[in-house]
């Protein structure tokens, strides 16, 4: 028998957007619960160093998320981690969200499910292809690696991998230029053991006894292919939204991001969204925090309006 719990706000997702929403909800004396399928912190947990967060010159992503999580718990928010959403009903005045242990009921749901890294399907058979440098980088000390992608994440993680003692790094970007900010690119350019290859893709990998030994890089402009020795490949080519469960319920873009109004409400009354899962131009830690704050404030106004109508 599953435990039944009635709360004011159910927050699906425990990243920075979801936790910020929980903080604002708790401070407004609203009973909130966070349901997180992994551990709280989301993608920020896998960021080695953050240098654009106000109040910190530099801070590790996991440490920052631990501080936010502590604040959430201090405010009395219920947090269910490593919990998959097995069922949900988002229409009507009372929404329900079901996990393997609990059945939650609330008039408001905030969707803060975030994004997952975009994978390279043609490399899925190779165990030495990774999507998190903090998680898997230490295993490649003294070995050459490839980093796929030319954005800020790719360049930031390259610098982190270098700090681990990686022998040399080849940054591979499919476009004709890298999109990382110039300051980060300048940092990378000071290291002689980092090569930046534009107009290039990882065509294939060569395995020996099941382990990666080299990769075939193809120049998409000239068609020339070359083979380089490599111990591991780290992929940072963007993110896809975690909205599969809402595809036939919530209005989404063609890419799967949630459409909201300026108060973060979706097409369903009482259902709000926040963070990277929302359709918007910029996806940064502070923008996700702003989404979470607005969603919680708007949710509070929605609940007050419901209560006034019920009188």
Q: What residue has token string 């704050």? A: 293
Structure tokens at 82: 């490593």
pLDDT at 260: 99
The helix/strand count (H/E) of the chain reads as 6, 19
pLDDT at 238: 92
Decide which of 174, 201, 235 is a domain's last residue: 235
Mean pLDDT of the chain: 96
pTM of the model: 0.88
pLDDT at 310: 79
Q: How many domains, in total, are found in the chain?
A: 2
- State the DSSP code for 213: E
> Same structural domain for residues 259 and 216?
no
Decide which of 189, 207, 235 is a domain's last residue: 235
CA dihedral sign, ordered 139, 145, 149, 155 = positive
Overall average pLDDT of the 196-218 stretch? 97
Q: What is the pLDDT of residues 14-28, one digit of tens each?
A: 999 999 999 999 999
- State the DSSP code for 118: P
CA dihedral sign, ordered 16, 45, 244, 284 = positive
Q: What residue has token string 């803060």? A: 112
Nearest-CA neighbor of 49 among 291, 288, 231, 285?
A: 285
Q: What is the pLDDT of residues 138-165, one digit of tens each?
A: 999 999 999 999 999 999 999 999 999 9
> Same structural domain for residues 77 and 112?
yes
What percent of the chain lies above the pLDDT cut of 90? 94
> Same structural domain for residues 112 and 124?
no
pLDDT at 27: 98
First to last CA, the chain: 34
Q: What is the pLDDT of residues 241-275, one digit of tens each?
A: 999 999 999 999 999 999 999 999 999 999 999 99
> Same structural domain for residues 98 and 127?
no
Decide which of 211, 235, 259 is a domain's last residue: 235
- Tell me which residue range forms the domain holding 187: 119-235
Query: φ, ψ for residue 276 (rounded to 5)?
Result: -65, -20
Structure tokens at 219: 């120049």
């Amino acid at each position: 028998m599953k435990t039944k719990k009635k709360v004011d706000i159910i927050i699906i997702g425990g990243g920075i957007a979801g936790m910020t929403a929980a903080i604002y909800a708790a401070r407004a004396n609203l009973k909130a619960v966070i349901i997180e399928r992994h551990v709280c912190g989301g993608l920020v947990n896998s960021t080695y160093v953050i240098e654009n967060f106000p109040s910190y010159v530099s801070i590790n992503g996991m440490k920052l998320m631990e501080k936010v999580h502590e604040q959430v718990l201090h405010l009395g928010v219920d947090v269910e981690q490593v919990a998959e959403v097995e069922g949900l009903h988002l229409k009507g005045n009372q929404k329900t969200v079901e996990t393997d242990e609990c059945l939650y009921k609330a008039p408001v749901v905030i969707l803060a499910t975030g994004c997952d890294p975009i994978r390279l399907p043609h490399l899925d058979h190779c165990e030495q292809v990774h999507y998190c440098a903090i998680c898997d980088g230490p295993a490649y000390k003294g070995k050459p690696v490839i980093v796929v992608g030319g954005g800020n994440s790719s360049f930031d993680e390259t610098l982190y991998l270098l700090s681990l003692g990686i022998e040399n790094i080849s940054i591979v970007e499919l476009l004709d230029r890298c999109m990382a900010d110039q300051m980060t690119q300048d940092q990378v350019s000071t290291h002689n053991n980092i090569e930046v290859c534009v107009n290039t893709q990882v065509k294939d990998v060569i395995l020996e006894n099941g382990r990666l030994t080299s990769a075939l890089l193809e120049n998409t402009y000239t068609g020339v292919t070359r083979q380089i020795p490599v111990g591991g490949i780290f992929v940072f080519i963007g993110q896809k939204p975690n909205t599969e469960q809402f595809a036939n319920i919530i209005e989404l873009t063609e890419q799967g991001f949630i459409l909201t109004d300026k108060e973060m409400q979706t097409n369903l009354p009482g259902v709000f969204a926040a963070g990277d899962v929302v359709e918007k131009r910029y996806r940064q830690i502070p923008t996700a925090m702003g989404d979470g704050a607005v969603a919680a404030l708007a949710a509070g106004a929605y609940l007050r309006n419901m209560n006034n109508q019920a009188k």
